Each structure stands twice: as structure tokens, then as C-alpha cells.
């Protein structure tokens, strides 16, 4: 019995790191943009690992070889779509204009197996609660909709309001779950003594009570703790 559980643990660990390595090799676009081809790939790879776990006749070596071959195939397909433009529409699909000049393109909806209710859901996800607010809507290959609102419903830009540009520094996370990020402290040219002084100024002395502390240049340190701070600013 122990050997069975030990073998299962080994297969899970090896399968986990094999899939993690495959994801690293293929790149982040596999996570952010799930095309139909990527969806099929995820199902196949998951099935391969599942067979290794639950089927005694499938050896771990075979599964690793299958994952390697499948990963190489996906990698070659990605190279193909980068080099040959015409292959992209076949393997990755192409965007469809579902709203054009404020008019719903019913032919495109039908072609993409999309109804009005589904379109409204996708539009609400982009902050458009009425179809009449949308000037153009494009159904992307990952199933999301990109929206260009009509002028009357669009958000004004800073340029249109004559607001002068200002520098926008990147917030630095200095404390997370009661632990100091020394790496971010060094990037911000700050010290731990300064951090403790700022914590004390805001009424917090025990770092373990802090959920996170975020520092923005020119704005100071914001501290969020497990209990309300007396003098938090």
C-alpha cells in the first residue's frame, strides 16, 4: 500500500514540474490568451498526466515522452504562426466585428455561435451595460470582446481636459503577510530602520500584524494590518 501511495506521489510531483516546465518554455501567452488550439492543448496535456496517475499500465516515462512530443508540437505551431501570417487565422482564429458603427452584426454573431444575451454579458464585462453605448465591438480569438464606446459614452482623456502630465511612480510592496521584502527595499533605496520608524509612526510595532505595506515615492507608506491602526494615514 505504501508503495502505491509513494508511486502516486512521485507521478504527481514529476507531472507537476513537467507541466510547469512546459508552460515556462511556451511562454505567458499560453495563460493570457487561450485560443481554441491552446484549449485543446491544455486538455490533451492534462489527460496525459491523468493517465499516468490513474492507469497502472501507463508508465511515467511514456507520459513524459508524450508531454515532450506534444510540447514540441505546440512550440513548432507557435513558430509557424509567427513566421507564416496566413496560418494564424487557421490555427489561432481571427477577430470578428460583432458591432459596427453602433449596429449589431447578426451574421457575425451566428458565425461565432453567439447570441444577444452572451454578447450583452461580454459587453458588461467591459463596462458597457447597453449595446447602444458601443460604436464598435470586436470578438477576439480568446472569446473576449474589445469595445470602442460612442463619443457620448466614452471617458474623457487627460489631454482633452488639459491636465498636465505628471510622473506616475510604481508602487513598491515592502511587506507581505508579515515578511519584509528586502529586494524591494533595496530597489526603493530604503532601509529596514526607516521602515520600522514609519510603522511606529502609524501605530504599528509588530511586523507580524501587517498584511501588506506599500510605498509610493512622493506619497509615503501605506500600511494595512490585521487590526485597525490608531493613526493610519
Q: What is the pLDDT of residues 31-43, one digit of tens each?
A: 445 555 666 666 6
pLDDT at 229: 42
CB contact at 8 A, 144 and 122? yes
pLDDT at 29: 45
- Indicate the pTM of the whole model: 0.57
Residues of the chain scoring pLDDT < 50: 1, 28-32, 228-233
pLDDT at 161: 84
Nine-digit cell string for 67 = 508531454
Query: Which neighbouring-strand residues pair with 173?
Result: 214
As to burial, measured by CB atoms within 10 angstroms (0-12 exposed, 13-18 middle, 19+ buried), residue 54 is exposed
pLDDT at 88: 67
**Cα–Cα dist 73/41, whole Å:** 10
The dihedrals phi and psi of 178, each to the nearest 5 degrees, come to: 80, 10
pLDDT at 174: 92
pLDDT at 58: 64
Amino acid at each position: 500500500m505504501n508503495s502505491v501511495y509513494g508511486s502516486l506521489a512521485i507521478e504527481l510531483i514529476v507531472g507537476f514540474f513537467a507541466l510547469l516546465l512546459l508552460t515556462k518554455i511556451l511562454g505567458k501567452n499560453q495563460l493570457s490568451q487561450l485560443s481554441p488550439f491552446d484549449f485543446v492543448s491544455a486538455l490533451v496535456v492534462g489527460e496525459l498526466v491523468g493517465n499516468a496517475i490513474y492507469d497502472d499500465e501507463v508508465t511515467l516515462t511514456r507520459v513524459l515522452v508524450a508531454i515532450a512530443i506534444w510540447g514540441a508540437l505546440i512550440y513548432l505551431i507557435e513558430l509557424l504562426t509567427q513566421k507564416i501570417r496566413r496560418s494564424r487565422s487557421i490555427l489561432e482564429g481571427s477577430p470578428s466585428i460583432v458591432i459596427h458603427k453602433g449596429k449589431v452584426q447578426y451574421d457575425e454573431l451566428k458565425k461565432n455561435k453567439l447570441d444577444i444575451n452572451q454578447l450583452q454579458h461580454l459587453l458588461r464585462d467591459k463596462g458597457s451595460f447597453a449595446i447602444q453605448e458601443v460604436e464598435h465591438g470586436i470578438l477576439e480569438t480568446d472569446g473576449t470582446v474589445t469595445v470602442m464606446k460612442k463619443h457620448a459614452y466614452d471617458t474623457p482623456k487627460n489631454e482633452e481636459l488639459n491636465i498636465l502630465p505628471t510622473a506616475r511612480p510604481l508602487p513598491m510592496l515592502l511587506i507581505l503577510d508579515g515578511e519584509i521584502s528586502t529586494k524591494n527595499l533595496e530597489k526603493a533605496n530604503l532601509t529596514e530602520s526607516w521602515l520600522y520608524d514609519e510603522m511606529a509612526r502609524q501605530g504599528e510595532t509588530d511586523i507580524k500584524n501587517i498584511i501588506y505595506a506599500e510605498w509610493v515615492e512622493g506619497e509615503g507608506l501605506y500600511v494595512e494590518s490585521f487590526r485597525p491602526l490608531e493613526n493610519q494615514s
